[in-house]
Structure 1
Amino acid sequence: MIDDRNPLTRRSSGVQLHLTSLPGGRLGPEARGFVDWLAEAGQSWWQMLPLGPPDRYGSPYKSSSAFAAWNGFLESPEAEVTPEELAAFGERHAYWAASLLAPMLPDQVRFEREWAALRAYARQRGVGLIGDVPIYVAPGSYDQQAWPELFLDGVVAGVPPDAFTAAGQRWGNPIYDWPALRRRRYRWWTERFRRTFQLYDVARLDHFRAFVAYWAVPAADRDARRGTWQRGPGRAPFRAAEAEIGPMAFIAEDLGVITPPVTRLRRELGYPGMVVLQFAFDPDDPRGPHRLENHGDDVVAYTGTHDTDTLRGWWDTLEAPRRAEAQAALREAGLDGDDADWGLIRLWMRSPAALVMLQAQDVLGLGGEARMNLPGTAGGAWKFALEHGQLTARHARRLRAATEEAGRARG
């Protein structure tokens, strides 16, 4: 069984794979089969992307609801739902159920049944579930329609220009009116966090830095260059939620240019940050937080994320100075530089971080064709899916061996 009291302090590891990337992309036998594979491989965690209805491109980060789940995950979409079940669901989720269209509610009842069965099965196998909370809601979402007073007019979300994007990124999501939320004692966020931990044991909190300061872009602009930094709410939404629902096990997504106030807030709240293997090898940045020798015990160490290439795709396109540094690190650790995928996985497993997360694509050694998302592109993303039987007992044995070697195997 997982440690309910403090699930992020035990030395462990897990695998990232969204539900849509399962063969068939649904709850049911394939999802339980993946849990079985994780247990066989000695893994403690299954991390997935947000569960809300995706946008027309398949992105779960622009969902039409911050609370509802997508009916495309259902194993039995035609299963009977009784009036009594609907009434009980409405009472249980009174704050947000009314924001949805009535025809959506039976599917949410079906999802609750199937999800509860999966979560119970995973717990029996010693596997915890890690979810994902997007910082913003989608433009025109049910949330924006139901609570328009919680969002600002005239500005949209984005990030400023940087070394990768000269015009910045104009995401287009509505921005929260934090004073309006404060006057309501952050009720919307408390209910969102409550829903999060009804579904998961742990959750990754996307774009955590926006709680300190966020980039507000004039809504009429086509890019993000004329945006401005605006002050976020800090710890207040978290303290308001903790007062009602208790401690929350978040992983703070703090990638990119992070200022000291962001790190201070993360540590004050007790949330680990993120480090990524693909950012770890830079001869010009010996103090970079992603470098293995600079890891602390307050980070979660990822081989990659849904926004990065696969480990194999990254390695195949790695420029010479970084490749040379990575190969030197493998040699120094006594690992095989010829089998780069598994050498790097074994190296990363040695991190002081309590939790290490691998992409399923990296366990399989898949190339860039299996990448989940390329930020800044609309089409072609979110389509990676496993074939039936692609994750084998041989893969499980190899991953278990690497996990045991690093002292991370569950049990």
Structure 2
Amino acid sequence: MQLKRSSGIILHPTSLPGRFGIGALGAEAYEFVDFLADAGQSVWQILPLGPTGYGDSPYSAFSAFAGNPLLICLERLVETGDLNPEDIEGISFPEGKANYGFVHGFKERLLHQAAHRFRTGASAERRAAFEEFCALQGYWVNDYSLFRVLRSHFDEKSWNQWPTDIRKREEKALQNWREKLGDAIYYHQYAQFIFFEQWFALKGYANSRGIKIFGDIPIFVAFDSADVWANPHLFHLDENGSPTVVAGVPPDYFSATGQRWGNPLYRWDRMAESGFSWWVARFRWNLSQADMVRIDHFRGFEACWSIPVSEETAVNGSWTPVPGEKLFLTLVEVMGEIPVIAEDLGLITPEVEELRDRFGFPGMKVLQFAFGSGPDPDPGNPYLPHNLERRSVIYTGTHDNTTTPGWWQDLSKDEKNAVRSYLGTDGRDIHWDLIRLAMLSVADLSIFPLQDVLGLGASARMNAPGSSAGNWSWRYLPNVLTEELRQRLAGMCRTYGRIPWEETPSFLAG
């Protein structure tokens, strides 16, 4: 993949401001696109857009294909006539934090109301658009909608705890439940239609302003998902539908027991037999929603850490080969060039690097990883800017890191001195120091979280891996995207050759 020298910002849509308790695909999202464009940025990086389940994590979704209804903009539903203005009057949640628990209840009630009004009163044009969506996306939306309805019917129990006939997807049971729960199924189909109607409108606007959407594909899917229930033969499951082996990473410097993620592992032999059709469909759909995608845990396409389900930790796992080369050859053959960035952080083997380079996928570098412990930086550290390759993406930090001011706060005196020595600054504006360092590097694309642009402390971090509480809830406050920030970012883009326009905008001239 060939990247143009450019710059961008990470912000998941849930982190947008707004009065309904969580970010949405409405006016605030369009205003953020305008800020990016006016600040000289070319890329908006997001996290996975799937419907969140356990822990509100976008990396643990009920589907690898569906969108998150919590992101639907209610004001847009008023504009289309699916809701009346009075339906959303008086609703106002505090800013600054995503209130998932509250939002689920009131938004689902309003979406049910909107679905009913759409079903009984939508125009012929919108009704035809809905039917076209359901026909084109039927390969996933029908199973997903039935899965969500059944999960609700069976008290939110995991699908492997449902009655045997529907757990095993016997045709008679599928037909009976579809007939019995038809209205509820329609609701989920409607919610998906609306989500993607709003998402593609936003993406179209972003592209019109010169902003590319940078999406995210987690390598694994959640066990309690429509994907596993609808395709059990593609996963390592026993006769009762329970996983036999699960994913994770082995013990390392950061964890003596490794990480046991719990995702079921793929039956790659069966996927290969079908020409990797599930992966082709997944990549094709994701790349319609984004202009390029990051593959999370890319090393898992060369080999994955397989942990017996009986093990409580990741210690007693083993590396299992994965036919990643065959998969990517198939994707390229079917789709042509695939605009992929490989998340190649951590302990990466030569085999993983060879797979990445075989297909020309840019890798990732994180500046917070560039400075080790002690008073002197290691000049050979691969994350230091003077060691980078052009075909890479450099970050100040990612959604899994603390913010740059938070990282700085945690450093020892010697470590801070080492950073100051490398930067040639006093570190008083450390977030701008690292943004500048990313901008001036040779990496084709520089990315930084909005929290770093705003100079926020550790309390604004998006996710702390290994912690099950308090994640994914940060939102920026209204009116913080100031003219000063816009000018400063745009000026840095011009200075370091990352400006996206062919001609310098008037406000940067002179």
Distance 2:377 2:493 in 1: 31
Q: Which amino acid aligns with 2:382?
A: P
SS in 2 for 1:57: helix
Cross-structure match for 2:259: 169
Provide the aligned C-alpha RMSD in A. Answer: 1.4
Post-superposition offset of 1:341: 1.7
The number of residues matched between the two structures is: 402
Q: Deviations over 1:358-405 (max 9, x none)?
A: 110000000000000000011100011011112211111111112211
Distance between the aligned counterparts of 2:128 and 2:144, measured in 1?
Answer: 18
Determine the structure 1 residue equivalent to 2:471.
381
Give 3-state SS (helix, strand or coil) of 1:176's partner: coil
Q: Distance in 2 between matches of 1:104 and 1:240?
A: 32
Instruction: Write out aligned runs for 1:245-260 (5 A).
Output: 245-260=335-350
In the other structure, the counterpart of 1:99 is: 143
**Aligned mate of 1:133, from 185, 207, 217:** 217
1:16 aligns with 2:60: no
TM-superposed deviation, 1:321: 3.3
Once residues 305 and 320 of structure 1 are traced to their aligned partners in structure 2, the CA distance between those partners, rounded to angstroms, is: 24
Higher CA-based Rg:
2
Is 1:121 the counterpart of 2:205 in the alignment? yes
With normalisation by structure 1, the TM-score equals 0.95
State whether structure 2 residue 122 is matched by structure 1 residue 29: no
Task: Give the gaps of 5 or more residues in structure 1.
Answer: 1-5
1:220 to 287, 300, 310: 310
Shift of residue 96, structure 1, vs aligned partner: 1.8
What's the offset of the Cα at 1:83? 4.7
Match of residue 69, structure 2, among 68, 71, 76:
71
Match of 1:407 in 2: 497
In the alignment, is residue 314 of structure 1 matched against residue 314 of structure 2? no
- For residues 445 and 7 of structure 2, the distance between their equivalents in structure 1, rounded to whole angstroms, comes to 5
TM-score normalised to structure 2 length: 0.77
Higher helix share: 2
Listed one character per residue, the Cα deviations across residues 66-123 of structure 1 (whole Å, up to 9, x for unaligned) are 0000101111343736553333113222332232123311111111211111011111
Counterpart for residue 454 of structure 2 = 364
Aligned to 1:236: 326
The aligned counterpart of 2:416 is 323
Query: Quick check: 2:142–2:189 contact (8 Å CA) kept in 1?
Result: no
Partner of 1:3: none
Aligned partner of residue 275 in structure 1, secondary structure:
strand
CA distance in 2, matches of 1:337, 1:159: 35
| 1:319-360, Cα deviation, whole Å (9 max, x unpaired) | 2333222101121xxx56332221221122111110000110
2: CA distance between counterparts of 1:98 and 1:149? 19
Please name the residue that 1:299 is paired with. Answer: 392
Question: What SS does the corresponding residue of 1:321 show, helix, strand or coil?
Answer: helix
Q: Distance in 1 between matches of 2:254 and 2:429?
A: 30
Q: Percent identity?
A: 44
- Contact 1:22-1:385 at 8 Å conserved across structures: yes
- Name the SS of the counterpart of 1:390 in structure 2: coil
Shift of 1:284: 6.3
Deviation for aligned residue 1:280: 0.8
Letter in 1 for 2:15: S
Please point out which of 412, 423, 437 is paired with 1:347: 437
Contact 1:336 1:343 in 2 (8 A): no
State yes or no: 1:108 paired with 2:152: no
Gaps of 5+ in 2: 78-110, 146-184, 238-243, 502-510
